[in-house]
Each structure stands twice: as structure tokens, then as C-alpha cells.
Structure 1
Amino acid sequence: MIKRSHIRQFLAVVDAGSFTRAAQQIRVTQPALSTGIADLERLVGAPLFIRNRRQIRLTEAGGRFLPIARDLERNFRAADGFGRAEESDKPVLKLGTIRSVPGAFFQNVTALLARDFGLEISENSDSELRAAVHGGRLHMAIVPLRSGEHEPHVTPLYEEPIVMFVAADHPLAGQGEVAPEDLAPETMIARRACEFLDATSRFFTRHRVRPRFALRSDSDDRCLRMVAAGVGITTAPASLAIDGIVPLKVSGYDFRRELGLLIDPAWRTQPDMEQRIARALPAIQRAAADWQEARVDG
């Protein structure tokens, strides 16, 4: 008999494109995942994946099974939400977010959503959140939008620059603009949650700047506090500024990000969801506009 675990494992491999990443995402060992997929292939009577060292691809049978699996997972989620909705009178909303969403803004968003939904919140990377929404494991996620990404299932929130932060008493803090080469003697702090980490590295490499790193951390708060302490400098979205640090204009460093809500279209069309979402989204967009005016470009 096909179990829900089989469906979750199958969709995880499809969305992650790798047995290793899929195992990490659903928190099982890779041997257990391989065993589960082999069991599913035995039950459906056909190989579902073509495996080689470079990539994992669906077979023809796997392609036919994929929409069935997605429908099954959505129905499983609907059944889960049905039981919880009876207990709380609110349907469950599985909300994902990248780690670099400012805490105060995320508080505003979740407070508005909590009026109509019971929330289950998770943090992950942009790619993993998108895969989870696409695979039906999340209903909604706050992610950085890609260029031109304004489809009906996407709700833009706010846009902001990515800036270089230095301590307020740093010798460069009083200068209006500096060249990338001026940062060559500086010690850097790497925010591992930064969406522009690779782009920033390429930017400084082009200018032959190869700084020493004092810290690499998943914690934005720790990184920014180390900047305030004078340990090093870092790049971050403008809205993450804290006391004791100031933005420094670097010539040619002009990255920006736009955050938005990515919504599972199938979940959105479930009974009663559209009405609840229609109440929440305008309020969230107003909160985002107020946030941008007060904190980002103000």
C-alpha cells in the first residue's frame, strides 16, 4: 500500500533534484529515503527516476505519477487542516520565510495572518521555500522575488537596497562614497543568510579585493552586532540596521531585493481560503508600504 511517507519522499526528490538534499529537507537519512523510493517504485510497478552522478530525472512513468502525487499530498494536507480547523475554528496556514526578513516586519505580517489562520512557521532558504510551496508542503512563503516575477500567485511586499554596514565610529563612516578598493584592508563578516553572498564575492573579486573574514554566521543579529563592536564590516538589507552601525556607499555596489509572498495556487482555491486571503493580503500590503516608507527609503 502506498503511504503518505512515500508521497512525501517522492515529491522531496522531485523538488530538490537530489537524494541528498531531499533527505536533508524531510529530515531522514539518505539510505532511508532510497529505500522508501525503491519501495514506491515496487508498488507502482515502474522506475520513477533516472539516476546518474550528475542529476536525477523523472522517467516517463515518474512524469505521469507526479500530478497524482501532488494531488494526493494536497488532499492529505486538506485532511490535516480539516481536523485542526474544527478544533480552533481557524484553518492551518503553513508559512515559510527566509531568515533575513526583519523581525518587526515579520511580526506585523504574522499578526495580520493570525486573525484568520492558525500559523505553523518555518525558516529556510529561498530555493527550499519555493520547492516547498511548489510541492504543496507550504501554503505561503516570504521570499526574495526574481526579476519580472509578478504572477497571480505572487504578492509583492517591499523593495530595499543591500548596503555595506560599518561601525558608527569607523574611519570610513564619515565619507560619502568609497571605492571597492578602499575596503581591501578591512575585515569582513559573512552573513550566510545573505541572498547576495555569491554576487558580493564576485563583485569584490572583480576589484581584486580579497578581505580576511572574522566571522561567518547564520545569525544576522550576531553579524550586525559584531559590526557595531568594530570586529568587521558586512553587507545586509538596509532594513536590518541596528544601533551602532551606519551604511557606507560603495561605488558600483547597487544590489536591491524585493520581498514578496509566494502562495500555493491549489491551496488558495480551497473552500473559504480565498475569502480569508482576500481579507489578509490588502492589510499586509499596507503594512509593507508603511514599513518601506518608514524604514527602507525614509
Structure 2
Amino acid sequence: MIKRHHIRQFLGVADAGSFVQAAARLHITQPSLSAGIAELERLVGTRLFVRNRRLVRLTEAGGAFLPIARDLERGFRAADSFGRGSTPDWPTLRLGAIRTVAPGLLRAVIAPLRDAYGVELVEGSDQELRVLLAGGRIAAALTLLRPGEHGATVHGLWEEPYRMFVPAGHPLTRAGTVAPEDLASAIMIARRACEVLDDTSRFFTAAGVRPRFALRSDSDERCMAMVAAGLGITTAPLSLAVAGTVPIDVAGYTFRRRVGLLCDPGFGHDLIARGLLPVIAAGVRGEGAVAD
């Protein structure tokens, strides 16, 4: 018979992605945890985890069992608190988000979810979040959607271009569309978190432009603030514009991105059932983004 400690141990490993970390969080020894997971796998009749030295991830069966386990744990917690006041089950949603989402757009996505779930936000790159999602360690990721990526677990929210941003009052703001060569003498700011950073570098290199850099930073907020201060110019998604910066068009620089939610099947179904997608989409439009 499956018992609560089986469920807690399964969720501990799924969320931590490691037997060592899960054992520490559960305050049990690693051999005890391994034995508990092995017993659970025997009871359900299939392997739930793929184990190797570097990573522990869910099998296909483990991914299917994950929403069941979360529902069971919620039920156990509700039973524990029955008759003596309830305490919120936190978090009920672990949501990943790429670091380059503008604050207003992130707020538009989070606000409806926060009202429906206890949300824990996990930051990462697109690749990092996809690994976490595949391993069952987050329920959804607000991230870049790839060409042709569709389906019941994929929900596009907005699409936007990347632009070159210059300080307000910069001579290039009056030039209309500029050629890449017009930026040869410009001082640049490198957004290290930019998803098209390598593509941008190749674009300008092919045009013979090898700029100097005044700043290389992981902080989009700092990069855009320094553009506004006149330290240099940078490329960024249109939604990252701040006061004191102006987007300009560069001939041939046509990169775009599509952002949306990638969900595990259980959360994707719940998102639709609760009617939250239209609310999120309305919030995104209210921030001025072009709905996908």
C-alpha cells in the first residue's frame, strides 16, 4: 500500500532533482530515501526516475505520476488541518521564468496565478527552465516558444521584435532605419542575458562592425538604465524599453521572440479549467504587448 512517506519522498526527489538534496530536505538518510523510492516503484510497478551521476529526472511514468502525487499530498495536508483551521499549501505552483521578461509583463502573468495558487518563482535561462520542466521540478515555464511549438501544453502570450536602443536625443533617433555600418563607431552595452546575443554578434561581425563595449552585465535593468544615461547603446526586446531610451530600426536586424507558458499536462489542464488564460492574456495586452 502506498503511504504518505512514499509520496513525500517522491515529491522531494522530483523537486530537488537529487537524492542527496532531497534526503537533506526531508531529514532522512540517503539510503533510507533510496529504499523508499525503490519500494514506491515496486508498488506502482514501474520506474519513476532515471538516475545517473549528474542528474535525476522523471521517467515518462514518473511525469504522469507527478500530478497524482501532488494531489495526494494536498489531500493529506487538508486532512491534517481538518477541524483545526486550514493552512495554505505552499507552494502549490512552482513557476519558472526567463530573466529577460519585462517586470510589467511578469506582473501581468503572476497576478492571476498568485490569486489561484501559492506561487514560487524560479528564474533561469530557457534551456535551464526546460530541463526543470522535463524533470518535473517546475509545473510551468514562462519562456521563449520555438518555431512550430504548439499543443495543449503550449500557450503563447505575446510576440515582439528585438530593437537597438539608443539614448533619447541621440542623432540616430532622427535617421529612420540605419545601416549596421552606421553603428561602427558606437559604444555598445552587452546584455549578457540576451537570447540573441550570439546571433547579434554574428550579424554585426558580418557587416564589419566590431564595436567597443562600455558595459557587460547580466542585469537588464542596469543595461537599460545605462543606455538612458548615455553610456552606450544596446539591443533588447521592445518590451524592455525604459524612460530615456528610444528604439531604432537597423536594416536586416529582424530578430523576434515569442513568449508563452510551457506547462506540464496536469497544470496545463488546470489552467484552462480555471479560466486563467484569458485573464493573463488581458493583463499582457494591458501592458502594451502584442498578443500572440
TM bucket by the smaller chain? 0.7 to 0.9
Aligned partner letter, 1:216: R
Distance 1:4 1:57 in 2: 15
Give deviations 1:41-98, integer Å, cap 9, x for gaps: xx89xxx7899xxxx999xxx9xx8335545655654555556675227871111101
1:259 alignment partner in structure 2: 259
Q: Is the contact between residue 84 and residue 92 of structure 1 (CA under 8 Å) also seen in structure 2?
A: no
Aligned counterpart, 1:183: 183
Residues 7, 69 of structure 1: 8 Å contact kept? no
> Counterpart of 1:210?
210
Maintained 8 Å contact 1:163/1:248: yes
**Residue type matched to 1:281 in 2?**
L
Equivalent-residue separation in structure 2 for 1:84 and 1:132 (angstroms): 25
5+ residue gaps, structure 1? 13-22, 28-34
Stretches (4+) displaced over 6 A: 48-51
Is 1:95–1:138's contact at 8 Å kept on the other side of the alignment? yes
Cα deviation for residue 278 of structure 1 reads 3.2
Asked if structure 2 preserves the Cα contact closer than 8 Å seen for 1:179 and 1:251, the reply is yes
**Could you tell me which amino acid in structure 2 is paired with residue 279 of structure 1?**
G
Gaps of 5+ in 2: 1-5, 23-29, 42-49, 79-85
Question: Distance in 2 between the 1:87 and 1:5 partners?
Answer: 19
Residue 66 of structure 1 is matched in structure 2 by: 59
Task: Call closer, same or farther: CA 1:169–1:296 in 2, change over 3 Å.
Answer: farther
- Specify the code of the residue in structure 2 equivalent to 1:113: L
8 A contact 1:157–1:289 mirrored in 2: no
For the aligned residue pairs, the C-alpha RMSD in angstroms reads 3.7
Aligned-partner Cα distance in 2 for 1:10–1:103: 27
Count of matched residue positions in the alignment of Structure 1 and Structure 2: 259
Are the aligned partners of 1:84 and 1:91 in contact in 2 as well (CA < 8 Å)? no
> 2:176 and 2:77 mapped to 1: Cα distance?
55
Deviation readout 1:171-201 (Å, 9 max, x if unpaired): 2121101110111111111111111111111
Structure-2 change in CA distance of 1:83 and 1:102 (3 Å): farther
Q: 1:280 aligns with which of 262, 276, 281?
A: 276
Percent identity (aligned) = 45
State the TM-score, normalized to the length of structure 1.
Answer: 0.73
Cα distance, 1:133 vs. partner?
A: 1.3
1:1-298 alignment, distance < 5 Å: 7-8=13-14, 66-70=59-63, 77-78=70-71, 81-82=74-75, 87-88=87-88, 92-268=92-268, 273=270, 277-291=273-287, 294=288
| Equivalent pair of 1:74/1:136 in contact (CA under 8 Å) | no
Letter of the structure 2 residue corresponding to residue 265 of structure 1: P
Contact 2:140 2:263 survives alignment (8 Å): yes
Partner AA of 1:211 in structure 2: P
Change (3 A) 1:88 1:219: same
Q: 1:163 to 1:148 in 2, by over 3 A?
A: same
Using a 3 Å threshold, how does the CA distance of structure 1 residues 191 and 296 change in structure 2: closer, same or farther? Answer: farther
